[in-house]
Structure 1
Amino acid sequence: MTASLTRLTNRFTLFFVLLLGISACQSSLTKKVKYYSTEITLKNGTVLKGSTSPIANESFTFKDAKTSKKSTIQNKEVQSIIKNLPEGTREYAQIEVETNKKREKTETVLGAYVVKGILNLISYEATEHTRQVQTVNNRQTFVNETILAKHYYLKWDNAPGKEVNMGKRKGQEEDFMDTALEFFADAPELMKKIGSEGYQAKDIKKIVEEYNAIKSKK
């Protein structure tokens, strides 16, 4: 009887330890949402001051500076945003971009100016579902993940933005070169730096900054 009780106690203890381990693991994988100081101007003229979660998809969370009250703001209600990030101030606005949707040629997104000038570089974030390969118990398996993906657009002031193919998948490096030829062909000295041994898609911010610097001198 005593031996049986001991075995039962040991099993319960092991189960409890495993449960704590799983709970701790889940906690470590949960990313805390960061809020940054923000000033929002709505389309109705209202100005809100406080902090916001990442501005992505169709809405975001706003925390009022005075009351600390949280509320959800729809992107379509916003006219502009000034957000203070660790890397500096970021301006958001309603921006027209080309879309891949079958029936629509353009759409309007609440995007951020990464570079503002003769040629603008716009970023827009949206959640995406992906499958990642992970090793669990020495076996490779697919794990479904939801990530916040950043999309970049190149935009002239008088035209919709066109998405930059960032070359994350095989064969897309050539697609980025097509984009480079479309936007930077009139700066041959810059085009010479773009390619397999020079600027890549990941350097798009530097490329646009250099392009604007070249064009502003002429």
Structure 2
Amino acid sequence: MQKIVILTGAGISAESGLGTFRDEGGLWAQHRIEDVATPEGFARDPALVHGFYNARRMQAAKARPNTAHAALARLQRDWPGEVVIVTQNVDGLHEAGGAEEVIHMHGVLAGALCAACGHRWPAPEEMAVGEPCPACNGPTARPDVVWFGEMPYRMDEIYDHLAGAAIFAAIGTSGQVYPAAAFVHEAIAAGARTVELNLDPSDTVSSFDETRFGPATQTVPAWVTELLGQSE
């Protein structure tokens, strides 16, 4: 049966109260990306970076999945083929909405990572500078999120899925962050039909066969209902 590969970005969680990079007044608007989302920023001021991610972790813990998250979980459950969700988000709302085996290419706020030995463990609500790794006891704990300049997780697996996709959808993404912005071209090369669902057109909108604009809580459930109707 046809495989569907879905890429989601910050736009799918915006209606759950989690801001995107471009939102005015949100957490990202209060900091420079270079200071809080790069390895160099962490080396310069780990306290600032931990404080930023502690705030994001607290914000995400209070958020609830919306109808767009629930619709994708429904698609996974009811589609006769495989539905793979790849997300740039670190909030965990896909799983909270019922999705399974989500590929978190940018890591998760709920995780901690040892910068020395690579061990991973559940992050405490608040991480502090010099927090020890449970495995090697080094004072090298950091958020298990992918920063700018670092390689996203599970890329080989993602490209394998894109090579087998019959349908590729990008939901709530800006098309500005690579390598995710190029996934549509990988899908096109595999012969997939492509669709963008977004509040506004992304930077890669011209690459898609089909576009649907509006809030994710409206466009995503409607798209899923149409797909499932076609599969019956």
Q: Normalised by the shorter chain, which TM-score bucket?
A: under 0.3
| Alignment TM-score, normalising by the size of structure 1 | 0.24
| Alignment TM-score, normalising by the size of structure 2 | 0.23
* Higher RCO (CA < 8 A, seq sep 6+): 2
Structure of higher CA gyration radius: 1
Q: Which has the higher helix share?
A: 2
